Structure 1
Amino acid sequence: MARADSVGAATDAVVQALARAAVSAVEAVGGYAGGVYLRSRSGELLQLALFTGLPLPLFRPWWRMQVNRPFPVAEAYRSGQAVHLADAASAMSRFPQLVAGLPFPFASLYEPLIAGTERFGVLLVLRPATPGVPVGARDRRRLREAAEGLAHELTALSAAGEPVVWEDDPVTVPAAPPEAETGALGARRAVDRLAQAVLSLDRQGRIGFVNSAAEHLLGVGVGQLHGRLLWEAVPWLGHPSHDDHFRAVFMSSEPVHFSARRGRHPPGEWLSVGLYPAPDGVTVTIGTADPPAHAPAPAADPGAGSPAEQASALYRPVALAIALTEAVTARQVSAVVTEELLPAFGGRQLAIYLLDERHLHLAWETGFPQGFLNRFDGVALDVRLPGVETLTTGRPLFFESMQRLAAAYPGIPLDADVGARAFLPLIASGRPVGSCILGFDSPRGFSPEERTVLTALAGLIAQALARARRYDSEAALAHGLQAALLPHRLPVRQHVDTVGRYLPGSAGMDVGGDWYDVVETGSGRLALVIGDVQGHGVAAAATMGQLRSAVRAFALAGSTPEQVVRGTNRLLIDLDPGQFASCCYVVLDPASGSAQAVRAGHPQPLLRRPDGRTEVLDLAGGVVLGIDPEATYPVTELRLAPGAVLALYTDGLVELPGVDIDEGVERLRLALASGPPVPLAETADRLIGDAADRPDDIALLLASLTGGCERAGTQDTL
């Protein structure tokens, strides 16, 4: 295990301030551990800078935290609001990933370190759980005062030139000065008579008292034990399969017992380990033991051992699989649960019900007899069924056999005579989402570890489903916005044809800020417009609608092309600072073929000449809209010949991950040159036909002169 050095005389001013605040905060609210996370230099990470009251090596996975992760310390930092979790139930409902990694009964309090607009990090305290009793106002105030005092100190240090960021491993400090030895000589002799090894650990995991039997049982001299971290002095106790036992005893008030093998290469005898917690440390007892019925499985082999040991080895990858999945629909989330959760726990049946208008509706099922679950579809929340009661009470229900299920709910229809069932509440951030049913072919018990892990995973599933439902709602709204804001038809004019196409992207929200338009300016000319607003979803679609309306208003008012784009740029800055968009605006006179073009950070248009030669135009341009209120946009003069085709497009048509955009533009140029230019609608369909699976949105606008326009000079005719 890794070792974190204790703070010494050379500690700098920042660490001293952190240590004072952490220790005093722990004492003020009756905690047993606490620490401070500080931001990193990049601002993307929170790093545990200092901790007290727990052995740091046991908690290495939580030393660094991305600021956007769904964990309470990141939430407190992002929101600037305190997070108080009084027990495991409140933690499960809001932060199931925290409980998936630390499935123990404890309370945790997180207070952001803020001074004005400056956010330094988060002060946290761990303390015993108070099930059903929220954190009181006095403790909230005390923790807030401690955080405000520390933030004030850090502000002063920062002003004095001290960098208040953290890049190194955390340091550890004692929660209180070590107490003097007060045990009577007789008590020591009594413990020395025991055949068991007895060791006393402080809250950092360092060995204090050691009895005489320890030397024989551990194979280590007493002088080599005192003052060292337990897992350094006795390496076989530091095997990853034992980490959860030590985490549990340091974070809760319940004793822990497990079997361990002394030495691994070659395997030694089995020993029985007992861990007994107290506010000032942990007593460890070690004695000889018979080989257990189920030996702990190797870390790389989660399929061996007892069901509880399998669950302990499996819950991390399962939680990670669910947390990292990119599933965005309820169906995709359910498929992930089927593929990941059922095999991990040996399940065969799965059903997911979602809550809507106080009724549970079947959203997904697998493994049940066909049609069996239909009778439960649409049940109200006042019906006495386990799938309903697990949601209304927030408590998971486990039935080791179908007989126990039938006894608890007389008259309930059963799909089999044998098996076991787990009913899990799907609750996300305190809001009911639905319920999940896991079915097993054979009767089986559910260990405390499995129950905790399954409950935590249910919270992850609930969050994913809630996110999927928000996605569905937002997607429907965004699609509606986009359908309303894009032109339903383009103007029909003599001597010119125009065709527009829009194709949503295949990733994410499926709607974005791409748009096109054709505007009759009132002077006999046509304004051809194409643009791309940054981002996707409702916000991008709404901004797109505002920009399209602004361009139309400026064009209809008789503004010049440069005035249209400049005015739209200033409007976007006023509407949404920080948002930006690209645009290409071309005003075409169908009678003469003359055109004026303005480009704001948008891809260069393509032009196919009447003889089939196709080129990328070189239009002068300005910066994208929304960046510089004083930006200017030069105008390029063009003239189109009859039969020429002008192609305006957004970058989704030419961009592919890992491919230079110039290659995409060249492919589009060749595609425009390769086929006949008319009918124009077929040309548009052909150009976007190969782009159906592109991740980004695509907009395309084609314009072609059909003849009859005035002849122009030969040099500038395109």
Structure 2
Amino acid sequence: MCPGERGKRRRPGAASRTALAVRRSPPRGSLDPEDATRGRTRRWSGVSDTTGAPPAPTAPGPKARAGAAARPGRPPLLSFTLASLMEEVQAHSGAIYLLAAGEPVLEIAVTAGLPRAFVAPWERVGLSTPIPVAEAVRERRLVWVGGEEEMARRYPRISVVLPYPFALAAVPVATADTVYGALYVTWPGSHPTVLSDRERTELTAAADRLAKRLARSARQQRPLRAEPDLPAAPPSGVAGTLGTVEAARMVGRLPYGLISLDLHGRIAFANSAAADLLGVQVADLLGTQPWVSVPWLNDPMYEDRYRAALISQHVTSFVALKPPGDWLSFRMYPSTTGLTTRISRARAVAEMVGALPRADAAPGSRLVTISQLLSLAGALTEAVGVQDVVQLVADEVAPAVGSQALVILGSRGGRLHVLGQRGYDDPRTVERFDGLPLAERTPGTHVLNTGVPAFFESKQQLERLYPGRDDTPDGFAAWAYLPLIASGRPVGTCVLAYAEPHVFPADERAVLTSLGGLIAQALERALLYDAKNQLAHGLQAALLPHSLTPPPGIEAAARYLPAMHGMEIGGDFYDLVPTRPLAAAVIGDVQGHNVTAAGLMGQIRTGVRAFTTVGQAPEEVMRSTNRLLIDSGADLFASCLYLRLDPERGRAVMARAGHPPPLLRRPDGRVRVLDLAGGPLLGIDAEATYPTTEVSLAPGSVLALYTDGLVESPGVDIEDALVDLGELLAENGGQPLDKLADTLVRHSAAAQERVDDVAVLLLRACPDG
């Protein structure tokens, strides 16, 4: 059959007509042997087989493609192949990828049937990218995706951007020893979910022929020329769209609006009724996209409906509010050349509420909008620890997708581990998750091991796929198991439970899978934070005294609270050194909130103990500690308060280095701030001196030592804070010291915010000591 006869017997789409145009005007050249064996008489530019293996052809760059239409010469190899293949298998769009020079990257060389903007996110993709064309190249096989649901399950990244019903086949373009790239074609959502043997044969044969031609071009060292894409040409004017003047008059008399959009969404025709309904002159509509020229249609949802209609080739519709209160109904009828849109006033109450996300969407499906997705992403970035993530998922994600309960699972030692749950009245119902070996066949372990989400719309479906097991807590009827993959590795599983049987349409599965990625990133950060937090607490606990051993006649109590932000580790410290017959107490604060500050704090505390043990006087202990800090080479300073206790004589000798003054509560309940002499912060001046002050400690007196985190807070005057602290001490000073310490740190204004660490050391002279 000659090309002309083939064209008469079939009504091809845009890409098919392009292929026929190429066939009817073949350039001069030698007969292609592969085509001859198939009973065709196509001609190709003359390239003869030669020996040698020069580099494989690569995709032309963007600048080369821009000028492709103006370049004469050989026929367009890639465009010709793609258009011919699309005609043979009745596909409505496709593209050819070629390997980039010297990179493991695929680049789009030519597209057909749809604007290139639809596949812009995949203009250049790495060979490891989880999309069909890259997989086809990696595994050297045909990759078939039979529909929207399969796309959402296997390639959620694509499904999130293109959540429409369509089928896709990708084939590697390769010879026995060289890979040149890949091609793919798509069909509308009405295509059967199984690829026919004829289609499979046509696809692989076309890819093989293209690979052989590219190999010949490479051997001839003739680089590929840039080629134009092959979307259908936009209709030119009313006559080109409607065919006759009379047809245009007929459309003009219709009571509802009609507009014709090309593949790029540009308006090629609009009748007067459409202009009246839209409130824009016909002349201002032509050549524009409706979501650009009509201000109240400037919403991504409306452009999404146009994309959905073109990709799925299904009739789609939506309702839009024209200010101030007119609801208009838009119904789009697609073809391979564009789409026709009917516009009318929406009368039905259901329409005025709003259109379904998609014409064929399942009833009751809940979708997370882009704005909700961004909001959820922002909320998850605020999560700090694992329990914060669990709470945010319960508060934000679960309500958005209609779930009533959830479990977050992690893995440790080859077993599942419950990190948190919400929505189960009896926590024991989730215990069956905890400790399950990852090698055991359950929904939770399968999702974690494979990284593929699992959706169970009913209890029966779960039991059919996992007979003899019930790893899902009682009381729920549907479940979504989402793999939490971050940085390419599984960090856990999120199980969302539904109280009633729940249908998971493909678009909802895609949204849930994407949410799983956001949760995974937050969970990975939270797990790392919790690990660091445990390390910080362990270090802090190791550096501070495990217990206090006061001398006879003295009671002691201490508290330490980390700051509420950051690593929760700082340089605040305290200690009580029991030397006979005297004892020494110290409290201090090293500048900074990090491991360095904590380490330096440990050195200072050790130094104070050593200098006290050898019998140095208080002023000497301070001078020696100051030199120790300077000699360490650290660029940090420290405040410190040191005192030598003599309970038998009822007195204390104190030395201060830039530290907040202590408070003394006398037995009669009066409190005063001790104005002590002192010197500069430790670590500033090697020659600094630290004078001492002697204070009387009558039986029943309470001495309160603290760091500045207890009294300093943004917006609070330090004098007012000291007054409040003194009142607390006066009112509660008769309590046992442990209870008094809790009262001080709990009710201090600064302690409520805790922008800094807080350390408190309380000493009481025993009345009968």
Partner AA of 1:191 in structure 2: T
- Which residue of the other structure, out of 370, 390, 397, is the alignment partner of 1:341? 397
What SS does the aligned partner of 2:558 have?
Answer: strand
Determine whether 1:442 maps to 2:500.
yes
Q: Is the 8 A contact 1:103 1:453 kept in 2?
A: yes
Aligned residue for 2:660?
Answer: 603
Residues 406, 422 of structure 2: 8 Å contact kept: yes
Secondary structure, counterpart of 1:652 in structure 2: helix
Q: How far does the alpha carbon of each residue in 1:169-203 deviate from its partner, in whole angstroms, 9 at most, with x for none?
A: xxxxxxx9x99x9969979843354975334587x
Query: Match of 1:272?
Result: 331
What is the one-letter code of the residue matched to 1:238? N
Structure 1 residues 249, 485: closer, same or farther in 2, change over 3 A? Answer: same
Q: Are 1:585 and 2:635 an aligned pair?
A: no
1:650 Cα deviation after fit: 1.6
Matched, 1:640 2:685: no
1:212 to 265, 269, 281: 269
Q: Does 1:567 align with 2:617?
A: no
Answer whether contact 1:237 1:260 (CA < 8 A) is retained: no
The residue number in structure 1 matching 2:342 is 287
Give matches, 1:682-693, under 5 Å. 684=741, 687-688=744-745, 690=747
- Code of the residue aligned with 1:396 in structure 2: it is P
Residues 648 and 702 of structure 1 are in contact (CA less than 8 Å); yes or no, is this contact kept in structure 2?
Answer: yes
Tell me: CA distance 1:594–1:436, structure 2 relative to 1, closer, same or farther (3 Å).
closer
Give the secondary-structure state (helix, strand or coil) at the position aligned to 1:535: coil
- Tell me what 1:380 maps to: 437
Which residue pairs with 1:197 in the alignment?
259
Q: Is the 8 A contact 2:235 2:241 kept in 1?
A: no
Q: Is 1:412 paired with 2:459?
A: no
Matches within 5 A, 1:670-685: 670-674=727-731, 684=741
- Does the 8 Å contact 1:503/1:698 carry over to 2? yes
Shift of 1:533: 5.0
Letter in 2 for 1:364: Q
Helix, strand or coil at the partner of 2:640? strand
> Is it true that 1:236 corresponds to 2:296 in the alignment?
yes
The answer on whether the counterparts of 1:587 and 1:595 sit within 8 Å (CA) in structure 2 is yes
CA deviation after TM superposition for structure 1 residue 456, in Å: 2.0
CA distance in 1, matches of 2:578, 2:768: 19
Tell me how far apart the structure 2 counterparts of residues 200 and 493 of structure 1 sit (CA, whole Å).
Answer: 91
Q: CA deviation at 1:361?
A: 3.2
Distance verdict in 2 for CA 1:452–1:274, change over 3 Å: farther
Shift of the alpha carbon at 1:86?
3.9
After TM superposition, the structure 1 = structure 2 runs for residues 11-410 of structure 1, keeping only pairs within 5 Å, are 86=129, 103-104=160-161, 189-193=239-243, 197-199=259-261, 210-213=267-270, 216-219=273-276, 220-225=280-285, 230-239=290-299, 241-242=301-302, 258-261=316-319, 263-264=321-322, 265-273=324-332, 285-288=340-343, 295=351, 307-308=364-365, 310-312=367-369, 315-316=372-373, 319-320=376-377, 322-323=379-380, 326=383, 328-330=385-387, 332-362=388-418, 363-364=420-421, 366-367=423-424, 374-410=431-467
2:241 is aligned with what amino acid? V
The 3 A distance-change label for structure 1 pair 662 and 571 is farther
What's the CA shift for 1:675?
5.8
Q: What residue number does 2:485 align with?
A: 427
* Ranges in structure 1 where 5+ consecutive residues have no aligned partner: 1-21, 33-52, 60-82, 91-98, 107-127, 133-137, 140-175, 710-718
1:671-710 CA-to-partner distances (Å, cap 9, x unmatched) read 334466797667656644645974534322245677999x
Aligned length: 546
Shift in alpha-carbon separation, 1:283–1:690, aligned structure 2, 3 A: same
Offset, 1:486: 1.5
Could you say what secondary structure the match of 1:544 adopts? helix
Q: Does the aligned pair in 2 maintain the 1:100–1:315 contact within 8 Å?
A: no
Q: Deviations over 1:9-30 (max 9, x none)?
A: xxxxxxxxxxxxx998999988
SS of aligned partner of 2:161: coil
* TM-score normalised by the chain length of structure 2: 0.56
Instruction: Give me the whole-angstrom Cα distance separating, in 1, the residues matched to 2:376 and 2:128.
Output: 20
- Residue 515 in 1 paired to residue 573 in 2? yes
In structure 2, distance between residues paired with 1:232 and 1:344? 30
Confirm or deny that 1:451 pairs with 2:451: no
CA deviation profile, 1:557-606 (whole Å, cap 9, x unmatched): 758355345335436763xx5xx564223243736957352323x32322
Q: 1:212 to 1:675 in 2, by over 3 A?
A: closer
User: Is the Cα contact below 8 Å between 2:549 and 2:578 reproduced in 1?
Assistant: yes
- Distance in 1 (CA, whole Å) between partners of 2:302 and 2:661 is 62
| Aligned residue in 1 for 2:758 | 698
Q: Please report how far the alpha carbon of residue 347 of structure 1 lies from its aligned counterpart in structure 2 after TM superposition.
A: 2.6
Sort the Cα spacing of 1:273 and 1:475 in 2 relative to 1 into closer, same or farther, 3 A. Answer: same
Taking a change above 3 Å as real, the CA distance of residues 352 and 270 of structure 1, as seen in their structure-2 partners, is: same
CA distance in 2 between counterparts of 1:420 and 1:678 reads 56
Cα 1:366–1:520 change in 2 (3 A) is closer
Could you list the per-position Cα deviations for residues 263-297 of structure 1 after superposition, in whole angstroms to 9, with x for gaps in the alignment? 523324311247999xxxx9675334897997486
The residue type equivalent to 1:545 in the other structure is: G
In structure 2, the residue corresponding to 1:638 is in which secondary structure? Answer: strand
- Partner of 1:603, secondary structure, is coil
Could you say if the C-alpha distance between residues 667 and 182 of structure 1 is closer, same or farther in structure 2, counting changes exceeding 3 Å?
Answer: closer
Task: Using the TM superposition, give the Cα deviation of residue 545 of structure 1 relative to its aligned residue in structure 2, in angstroms.
Answer: 2.6
Deviations 1:103-137 (A, max 9, x none): 3269xxxxxxxxxxxxxxxxxxxxx9x999xxxxx
CA RMSD of aligned residues (A): 5.6
One-letter identity of the residue aligned with 1:460 = L
Q: CA deviation at 1:649?
A: 0.1
1:522 touches 1:556 (CA, 8 Å); kept in 2? no
The structure that has the greater radius of gyration is 2
Give aligned-pair identity as a percent. Answer: 32
**Aligned-partner residue type, residue 694 of structure 2:** R
Tell me the distance in 1 between the aligned counterparts of 2:234 and 2:733: 102
The alpha-carbon distance between structure 1 residues 293 and 255, as it changes in their structure 2 partners (threshold 3 A), is farther
With the length of structure 1 as denominator, give the TM-score of the two structures.
Answer: 0.60
Q: How far apart in 2 are the matches of 1:427 and 1:374?
A: 23
SS in 2 for 1:446: coil
| Partners of 2:235 and 2:262 within 8 A in 1 | no
Partner residue, 2:207:
none
8 Å Cα contact 1:198/1:285 also seen in 2: yes
CA gap of 1:365–1:611, structure 2 versus 1, over 3 A, is: closer
Return 5+ residue gaps in structure 2 as ranges: 1-60, 67-99, 109-115, 135-155, 173-179, 182-225, 252-257
How far does the alpha carbon of each residue in 1:490-514 deviate from its partner, in whole angstroms, 9 at most, with x for none? 46557x7362401435845666442
What per-residue deviation string (whole Å, max 9, x for no partner) do you get for residues 20-77 of structure 1? xx99899998889xxxxxxxxxxxxxxxxxxxx989xxx9xxxxxxxxxxxxxxxxxx
Measured after TM superposition, the shift of residue 478 of structure 1 is 3.1
How many Å separate the matches in 1 of 2:131 and 2:626?
Answer: 56
Query: Separation in 2 of the partners of 1:101 and 1:524?
Result: 75
